[in-house]
Structures are given as C-alpha cells and as structure tokens.
C-alpha cells in the first residue's frame, strides 16, 4: 500500500511558447492532478466555461505584443470577468517591477519571471492554490449564510432578502403583524408590495382567515362601489343577483388595497367613509353591514406630494398609514440579487423542466452591476427568459438581456437636452412623447410620468398641449 499523497489541483498554463508549455507541464504534472496547456489565448473563454481551474498561469506577452504586457492585462481582465474568484499568476521574461505592481493591483495573485527556478515556481503555485481554496471557503460560508437566512425567513416565504435593508423590513413585519394596525406599503413598481402584504397577513392573528387583494388601478370609477361594497339584484342593468363586495368578503381577515394612489377624490371620499364607520352599504340598498377587516394599502405614488397638490385627501392618508413601510428598490440592496436569482432559477428550471443548475460568476457579477429599474419583478422575468432560452446547464452573461446600454443612451440624451433647453422645455417634450406613446391616454401617460391625472392636466394646460 503506497503512502504517496494523492495529487490535487487543476492548473491552466497559457503561453505562446511551446517549449515553455512543455517544460512547465512536465514539471508541474508531478505535483498536481491536472495541468492543461494552451498556446492560443483566444481559447481562454471556452476553457474556463468548460472547466474549473484552481490556478491559471498566464503569459504577459504574446506574439502581437512583445514586451509591454498589454495582452497579458487584457486576458487577465477577461479571466476575472468570467470567474471573479480566479487566481492568476502572470509570467514574463522581463523583470519589470512596475509591471508586476500593476499586475497585482489589477487582480493577479503573483508574478514569476522566465526562465524560472522549478522550486520557486512550485512554491508560487502552491501559494496561489491556498488563495483559491480560501476564496472558495469564503464563498461556501457566504452561501451557507444565505441558506440560513432563507431558512430563518421561511415565515416570509417568497419574500427573499438578507440585506440590512430587508432585515429592517422583516423586523417591521414582525412588530406590526400581530397588531390590527392599518399599514401603508410604499415602494417602486416591482419591489414586492403585495408579497409583503401577504407576509403581514400570514404572521397576523388573522392568518387563518382570508386575504383579499384589490387592484384599485384596474377598477373603473362606475364599478368602484359595486366591487368594494357589493350590490343587490336589480340595482343596475347587469346586477342579476345579490353580490357582496370585497369589504364583506374580507371581513374577519385582511383587505389589501393596491394602487390606492390612483383613486379619484370622489372615490377617496367613499372609501374614507367606509373605513371610518367600518360598515358598507351595497349599491341599491339602504341597509348597512358591519365589516371587521385588517387594512393594508400600497402605492408607488408620492402620496404626501399629492396631499400638497390637493389630489389626495389628507384625512384618508392619516387613516391608512398608522404604520408606514417603505420597501427599498433592488439597486439599494444588490447583495440580495444572487439570492433572488437562485430562487427564480430553481423555480423556472422546475417549471420548464430544464437542466439549468446555476448562474456563472460572470453573469452574477453583471447582474449585481445592473440597476434593475423593474426591481424584483424584472429579475424574475430575466431569469425566466434566460432559463427558457438557455442551451447549457450554467447561465452565462449572454443568456441575459440587460437594458443598461439603452438607459445610458437615454441619460446622455437627457443631458444633451438639459444643455440645450431649460427644464420647462424638457418637461414639455417629455410629456408630448409619453402622450404620443399612449395615443393620448391620460391615465396611462400620468402613470408613466409618475404624476396624478390632475397634475398632468395642469401641465397640459400650462404648456398648451
């Protein structure tokens, strides 16, 4: 039985000199499990996508570029883009100290000169191996922590997050859920306001009763009372039978009113009356019905500004925001992006029966740098699309469609516009473009611009549009 230790470690050596490759492989093969060599640096992306290397030895200078090291830095950047945890040892025949310092600053772990002494080369590679192991251990601990946080937050189910911002949200949910206080959830589109509302309900004393969501932005003014308060048979043309409204159905449980900022002032008054009296009257009836609801509202609109503008009732705002919960946009908690991506990856791989198991470090890095204007909902759609279109088992950056380039162009256009016109001219141009996009639909245009309908009407009158 042999006492010879088992060889470990996977190395990749990239150099355009075949003699160097042969010599390095011959020596290092004695000490490591796998030593791959490659003469053409253009093959690096393919090699890294198909295999995992503990250490990469990379020549600084290829035939195109004899001594400046530019090609070495170019391929170093490429390697770190594909695998941010990669450990690279750069090789050069020129003992340039400045080049060595720059290489370390740009992500290389060490620097060796050729011709090298074998023992020194071995010591350098072994040290680099330990660095890779350390990085992998840190990643493993981070993943374990993510899983622990996810397990701890099972009571919040699909509400994914481990960032400090989301921990504050979870803390608020725990404090508020056990009370019957009215809650107002504020946040941009796609931040998960309904999920938070459901989490509050699931952790409340009403968890065994119903949770009734209502999208107020989707209910027309003439159907508002019927939908929320109910109607009796014959009260209007299509009233074929008595029907309870959402308030009655939700009695004993939780009523979630989404997009509350979209209500007109007359509808706000009717809603306020129902909330103050905790009773409703069905359309076509004179009888009032008591209701016992826990109220949660949500909006992405600036209610306090709307109160100042006179487009949202202050007394209604006071009624619905006993507790106010602000959801952070995804760009303010990008440490949650990886957790969200993993969650949606598992969901859609199972749904579409695809053998997609993970997201490459390069793709994850791109995702963390992207602003995600559509927040969690945009991540979900991006992962779903990537899973459907993916050919391999690991999602790569090219499997995603990031709109950052388009956003940068838009920002540039806006900057040019601001340079050429005053702010009122820019606002006028923007309103005209949005109106054109929605064929003059005031409601849709106002929503796109982040304005109330009355605010948009005032601007239309001001600019003569």
Task: Work out the angle at residue 183's Cα, subtended by the Cα atoms of residues 295 and 277, and round it to the nearest 5 degrees.
Answer: 40
Compute how many other C-beta atoms are within 10 angstroms of the C-beta atom of residue 10. 17
pLDDT, tens digit, for every residue of 362-400? Answer: 888 889 889 899 999 999 999 999 999 988 899 988 888
- Average model confidence (pLDDT) across the chain: 84
Rounded to 10 deg, the angle between the 118-152 and 337-351 helix axes is: 80
Cα separation, 36 vs 13, whole angstroms? 6
Residue 417's pLDDT band (cuts 50, 70, 90): very low
Q: What is the average per-residue pLDDT within 110-135?
A: 88
Q: Which residue stretches of 236-302 are H helix?
A: 246-250, 265-277
pLDDT at 153 over 50: no
Cα separation, 303 vs 313, whole angstroms? 9
CB 261 within 8 A of CB 312: yes
CA Rg, the chain, in Å? Answer: 30
Strand ranges inside 242-382, DSSP E: 243-244, 254-258, 279-281, 288-290, 294-299, 323-326, 358-359
Domains recognised in the chain with CATH numbers? 10-142 (3.40.50.2300), 162-326 (3.40.50.300), 332-402 (1.10.8.60), 405-463 (1.10.10.60)
Torsion (CA) 241, 246, 252, 256 in degrees, nearest 10: 170
Q: What is the average per-residue pLDDT within 184-197?
A: 94
More confident residue, 407 or 260: 260
Cα separation, 264 vs 274, whole angstroms? 16
DSSP state letter for 216: G
Compute how many other C-beta atoms are within 10 angstroms of the C-beta atom of residue 414. 12
Cα separation, 165 vs 353, whole angstroms? 34
Terminal C-alpha separation, the chain: 91
């Amino acid at each position: 039985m042999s006492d010879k230790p088992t060889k470990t470690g996977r190395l990749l050596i990239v150099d355009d000199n075949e003699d160097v490759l042969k010599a390095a492989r011959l020596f290092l093969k004695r000490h490591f499990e796998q030593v791959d060599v490659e003469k053409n640096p253009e093959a690096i992306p393919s090699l890294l996508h198909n295999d995992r290397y503990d250490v990469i030895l990379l020549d600084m200078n290829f035939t195109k570029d004899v001594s400046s090291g530019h090609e070495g830095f170019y391929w170093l950047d490429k390697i770190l883009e594909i695998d941010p945890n990669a450990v690279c040892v750069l090789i050069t025949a020129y003992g340039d100290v400045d080049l060595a310092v720059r290489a370390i600053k740009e992500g290389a772990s060490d620097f060796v000169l050729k011709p090298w002494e074998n023992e020194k080369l071995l010591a350098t590679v072994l040290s680099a191996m330990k660095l890779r192991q350390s990085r992998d251990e840190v990643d493993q601990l981070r993943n374990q922590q993510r899983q622990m946080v996810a397990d701890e937050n099972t009571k919040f189910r699909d509400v994914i997050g481990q960032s400090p911002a989301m921990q504050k949200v979870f803390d608020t949910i725990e404090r508020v859920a056990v009370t019957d206080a009215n809650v107002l959830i504020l946040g941009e589109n796609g931040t998960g306001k309904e999920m938070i509302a459901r989490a509050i309900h699931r952790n409340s004393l009403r968890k065994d009763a119903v949770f009734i969501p209502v999208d107020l932005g989707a209910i027309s003014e003439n159907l508002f009372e019927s939908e929320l308060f109910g109607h009796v048979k014959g009260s209007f043309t299509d009233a074929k039978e008595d029907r309870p409204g959402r308030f009655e159905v939700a009695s004993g449980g939780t009523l979630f009113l989404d997009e509350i900022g979209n209500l007109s002032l007359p509808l706000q008054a009717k809603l306020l009356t129902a909330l103050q009296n905790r009773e409703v009257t069905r359309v076509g009836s004179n009888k009032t019905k008591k209701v016992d609801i826990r109220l949660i509202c949500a909006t992405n609109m600036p209610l306090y500004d709307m109160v100042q503008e006179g487009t949202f009732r202050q007394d209604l705002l006071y009624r619905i925001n006993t507790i106010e919960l602000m959801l952070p946009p995804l760009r303010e908690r990008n440490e949650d992006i990886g957790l969200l991506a993993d969650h949606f990856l598992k969901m859609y791989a199972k749904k579409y029966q695809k053998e997609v198991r993970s997201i490459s470090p390069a793709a994850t890095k791109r995702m963390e740098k992207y602003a995600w204007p559509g927040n969690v909902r945009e991540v979900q759609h991006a992962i779903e699309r990537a899973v459907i279109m993916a050919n391999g088992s690991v999602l790569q950056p090219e499997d995603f469609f990031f709109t950052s380039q388009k956003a940068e162009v838009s920002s540039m256009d806006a900057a040019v516009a601001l340079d050429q016109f005053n702010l009122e001219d820019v606002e006028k141009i923007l309103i005209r473009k949005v109106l054109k996009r929605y064929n003059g639909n005031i409601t849709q245009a106002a929503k796109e611009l982040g304005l109330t309908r009355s605010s948009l009407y005032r601007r239309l009158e001001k600019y003569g549009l």
